[in-house]
Chain A
Amino acid sequence: MKQIQLPLSARDIAILHAGETVTLYGEAVIARDAAHKRLYAMLQTGADLPFSLSGACIYYAGPCPAAPGEVIGPCGPTTSGRVDAYTPALIEAGLSAMIGKGARAPEVVHAMRGRAVYFAATGGAAILLSSHIVAAEVIAFADLEAEAVRRVTLAGMPVIVAIDAQGNSALWPIA
């Protein structure tokens, strides 16, 4: 299986193709609904973000609390479509990879062209996926608890290229 290093290289953005199964390695940032609302507001006002979006990979997820001995609690993807309203602005600011589940709005697919790739992880496979997260720390919005922003290190997380940077999609309705 193809191994992909994060942040994505320009070459990977260009050649990853919808429908490919790959494994991801490297750094990603976990952020979902409430965190996106705040990040978007910060972008609008020009405030400093808690992490750099340049080349960033965001994993849409909200893990369970870690049990003793766990790096992170069970951590599968959440529905990506709920942050679609914010995503084009984040891509504009440098976001180049997203991991989630489900369809994206046409505006997101358009904003991704030439710049970003959307990977789908299997919803509900939370333990399997968290076993590929080897480091995790909360870096912002700790008050959001399950929705706090976390920096994570991925080691071989299995995903499928759901929508590529050319606008091809592996998701239903399949053209």
Chain B
Amino acid sequence: MLSNIFTVSFFVSLFASTIRLATPILLPALGQIYTQRAGILNLSVEGMMTIGAVAGFTAAFYSGNLWLGILTGMVFGMLYSSLMAILSVTLRANQVIAGTALNILGAGLAVFFYRVIFGIQSLPPQVESFQMLKISVLSDIPIIGVILFQHNIIVYLAFLMVILTWFILEKTTFGLKIKAVGENPKAADSKGISVNKYRYFAILIGGLYAGAAGAFMSIGYLNIFTESIIGGRGFIAVAVVIFARFLPIRAMWGALLFGLASALQLRLQALGIGVPNQLMLMLPYALTIIALVLASKKAEFPSAYALPYSRKER
């Protein structure tokens, strides 16, 4: 029986959807690497993604332009993250409570405006999604071509962002300053680096990435918006950052691992395997806990992780 399931075509479609499903975890995780490296634990990724999903969907639906949708998602994700920046940096509020509040508020706002804009319809409004972009020559390679080179453009861009994020953080002074305000804000301050300014940047970039990922879910993956569209991916992304020890390339592997868990659940469900569906659906969430268990002790958290900075406290 097993040999009937585990065929070549099964693995090809499994790995191809692994890459697709890794995308909405990879993007917010990359964004949160900036934020967490700057010493801010932003738990409102889920809320930012939901806001990005509804904003991107609305823009794409009315303009018919998917790129405008992605852009709108990014802008709204960033705008929403500015609330976290004000709360955690300017007001030095408790970051866990601020993040929780913004998740509740974000879900509320997203569903409220979706209902106001689209009303209640028997069939949910849809957008035409991004076309699959087959990369010539490469996509014709048997097996590998189908797995790696037959996705929509956002998927490719997300994976390119891994390199860009690594480059910015490791090779530019901007990246260095972001890391400095998370590692030793007092020293950074004395060198003339504005701690608050770079923490704001780090949070806003995180919002930009999360908004893009939210828009990907609604217009690049599902083509509709639903209340539970993000389904915990924002929290999984936060866990991936810790699992990846704040490194972009490891975050890619982490996101792929979660992509695999989700893809495995979908594929096996499609094949009608004997394991109940609900138990398979637990897989990504259980994996998140396991990943945290394996990684948290080893991860070297930035020294000022989740600690507000004040010049007066010396």
User: Does B bind A?
Assistant: no
- Measured CB to CB, the residues of B under 8 A from A are none
